Amino acid sequence: MKLNYLLLDVFTKQRLQGNPLAVVLKADGLLDGEMQAIAREFNLSETVFLVKPHAERNTAAVRIFTPAVELQFAGHPTVGAAVVLGLQNKVSAVRIEEKVGLITALFEKADKSSGEARFALPQLPAEIAPLPDKVAIALALGIEVNDIGCGPYLPAVYSAGTGFHLVPVRDTAVLARLELNMGLWGRAFPHERQSVYVFTQAPNERGIDLAARMFSPGMGLGEDPGTGAAAAALIGLLAKHADISSGQVDFVLRQGKEMGRLCLIRMQMKLDNDVLVHGAIGGDAVVVGEGVLDLGD
C-alpha cells in the first residue's frame, strides 16, 4: 500500500519557517491505528489525512492526529489542508468535514505551491474554567507570580473545540524566558490534555498585536510553533474584555519566534451587544516537499 503525501509550512510564506505539517492524500483505506502510527512516524505536531467526505457537496473530510492523539479540531492543519485542497481543485472555497463540524475555508492562491486560507470557527470559544492558582502557574512556568497578567486578562481555560489553559504574562520578555517545570505541570494545568497557551500583548512589534507560546505534553508535543486552535480559544478571552460592544476586530499573533519557526496567525472576532457572534482564523501555507509512504502489502 502506497500513499502520496505533501509537506507544508503553515502560518508563513517562507519555506522552512512556520509550523510543519504532513498531509496524506487519499487516505480512505487507512484504519485509525494506522493513521496514528503514521503521525508518530512523521513526528510533527500534527499530520492530516484527507478522505472522501460524507456529503458529496463537500470537498473532503479531514482526520487530524498529533503523535499521540486524534484531535477533533486544529487550526494549522485546517489552514494547510485548505491550501492543499484549494491548489488541487483550483477553487476559491473549500468545504472540509472535521470532527468538530463543517468548516468552509476561503482560499487565495499565491503561486503553484502556496496560498492563504481563512475560515470561520465551527465552534465559538467558551470558557471552561477559571485558573485562580497563580502560585502553581508561576512555579510550573518558571516565572514570578507578578509576571502573570496582561492588561485586563487573567488566566482561564477556554475551548473552541480543543481546550487550552490561557495564561497572560506581563510582556514579551517574560514570554521569552519561560522555564518549564513538568513535575508541577498537572497541578497548575489540570484540564483536558494539559495544553497551555502563554500569551501577551506586543505593542512594540510592528504589525504584531499579540505574541504567544504553546506547550502540550498531553498531546505528545513539547512546544508547538503555531497553534490555530489555541488562537481560536484565545478569541474567547479577548472578546470577554473587548473595548467595543459591537463591531469587528482583527489581530495578528506571532508564535514560534523562540523556536526559530516564526508563525503569523490572523485572528478575527465580531461582537454584537457584547456577545461574540463570529470568530475566524487564517494564515499562509507553502508546500515544501512531497513523497510516498510505502506501507507494504
Which residues carry out catalysis? 46
Query: What are 49's strand-pairing partners?
Result: 24, 63
- Residues linked to residue 183 through DSSP beta bridges, in sequence order: none
DSSP state of 161: S
User: Residue 168 has which C-alpha cell?
Assistant: 497572560
Q: Which ranges of 154-253 does DSSP label H, i.e. alpha helix?
A: 172-176, 185-188, 228-240
- The DSSP-derived string for 198-221 is EEEE-TTSTT-SEEEEEE-GGGT-
Helices assigned H by DSSP within the chain: 32-42, 75-89, 134-141, 172-176, 185-188, 228-240
Number of Cβ within a 10 Å radius of residue 165: 29
CB burial of residue 217 (10 Å; 0-12, 13-18, 19+): middle
Helix (H) or strand (E) holding 195: none
> Which residue type is seen at 195?
S
d(CA 209, CA 206): 8
Checking 62-66 for CB contacts under 8 A at 24+ apart, the result is: 62/96, 62/97, 62/98, 63/27, 63/35, 63/99, 64/98, 64/99, 65/35, 65/36, 65/38, 65/39, 66/39, 66/216, 66/219, 66/220, 66/221
